[in-house]
Amino acid sequence: MAEAHVDRMSVTRRIDASAAHIFELLTSPQGHVDIDGSGMLVAAADAERLRAVGDTFDMHMDREPLGDLPLGRYTVRNTVTILEPDTELAWTVGAVDRSPIGHVYGYRLEPIDETATEVTSYCDWSAVPERWRERMPWPVVPREMLAASLDNLARLATDPRS
């Protein structure tokens, strides 16, 4: 059965690093957004550390590797909607002043102990207007991409050079 109109998709895994260290990586978007090497989601090289709700950063998108939307390559502005130290980071796709699209990417962190954290990568479409859902093939972000984002985050968190 197709997963169209699913409000929230998520993937969770344990990462062997403290929540504080992982959160530090998450708030530096150029360090963690390059998800699968295809150019699908890559933060602009000049993206600054995210410090508060309302902060923005640009992300270069490329739908071609997925083949799901005929949009090719483009850049989108993202706006932080949740920033709770060592707990959660989320952003909506589309800047507040440029008609946000409505779907939200995020990470929730739940410490297991001082050396391990359970991290959930999610995408939430619940705020997307119903009239858009009727025309769009939601969800447009596959579960595999969310899992790949956690793989990349785990590599960054456990690599002593990061």
pLDDT tens digits along 54-85: 999 888 777 666 655 566 677 788 889 999 99
Residue, of 88 and 149, whose pLDDT is higher: 88
Checking if the pLDDT of 152 tops 80, the result is yes
User: DSSP per residue over 114-144, as a string?
Assistant: TTEEEEEEEEE-TTS-HHHHTTS-S--S-HH
Q: Answer yes or no: pTM beyond 0.75.
A: yes
Tell which CATH classification among 3.30.390.50, 3.30.70.260, 3.40.50.300, 3.30.530.20 matches the domain 8-158. Answer: 3.30.530.20
Task: Say how far apart CA 116 and CA 78 lie, in whole Å.
Answer: 29
